Structure 1
Amino acid sequence: MADLGSASSRRMWCSIPERMQLHVAMLALQFGYAGFHVVSRAALNMGVSKLVFPVYRNIIALLLLLPFAYFLEKKERPAISLNFACQFFFLALVGITANQGFYLLGLENTSPTFASAIQNSVPAITFLMAAIFRQALL
């Protein structure tokens, strides 16, 4: 148990407890999502294509996150092989890009307020699906 305490004390930034950091990060993420909903709707209203907008968003995210991923995980990441890169590509294509495309398609027919509200139900729906499928498999 002493190791757990020392590990959590090493992860503190600016002497803020780790629990508080997690809550602040979650709050910042929710504000980020809310801002994304508003910016997405404004971009759609200005005439940005629903196919081009996710590409721009993913390129900007890549450029912003790449230095952190490279320098912070430099010693811990596995070697990137062609197979590994192809798996990442298809995961991104099917997961993130399809999600954003369907989101923008739905946002065209609704409001950012509704999109923000419905997004909070995703963990509850995921839990219900997991509970249903777990019961079906047993």
Structure 2
Amino acid sequence: MAKVPAMEAAGIRFLLNENVVLRRGDAELYLIGIDDPNFYKTHSFERALRGVPVQATKVLLSHSPQTHALAAEHGIDFLMAGHTHGGQICMPGGHILMHDGSSPRHLLAGAWTEGTLQGYTSRGTGASGLPARINCPSEVTLHTLRCG
């Protein structure tokens, strides 16, 4: 967490159990950020959703996809996550060999749906533990959101 103050001083806004509304004309989109459910375990949907109308379009920025069930319960429309590094070590074709078990396999990389919740888990650019990636290229993802 020591990186957060330095990054915020550089103008990068973090949403730690907070939200911000983005407006375009009469349309509103709420970006909701929760704290890391793995390391700090201080994520709070109740705090993050304060002031967000129930019917609003909600995009959740979550460190990990493991929050998917709670996100669905709280009416989140789209969840963007990382944490998994896409498995890092995969068989040809991307089948993940090992993971920490915090999320179902189909949530560990790329686009997914779970009930009415849509999500995307980025493989990211780094590594965790073993500093290697096999059959799991790093990525920086650009999402274009469109009105349905």
Q: Which TM class, normalised by the smaller chain length?
A: under 0.3
TM-score, normalised by the number of residues in structure 1: 0.23
- Which of the pair has more CA radius of gyration? 1
* More helix by percentage: 1
Which one has more relative contact order, counting CA pairs under 8 Å at least 6 apart? 1
TM-score, normalised by the number of residues in structure 2: 0.22
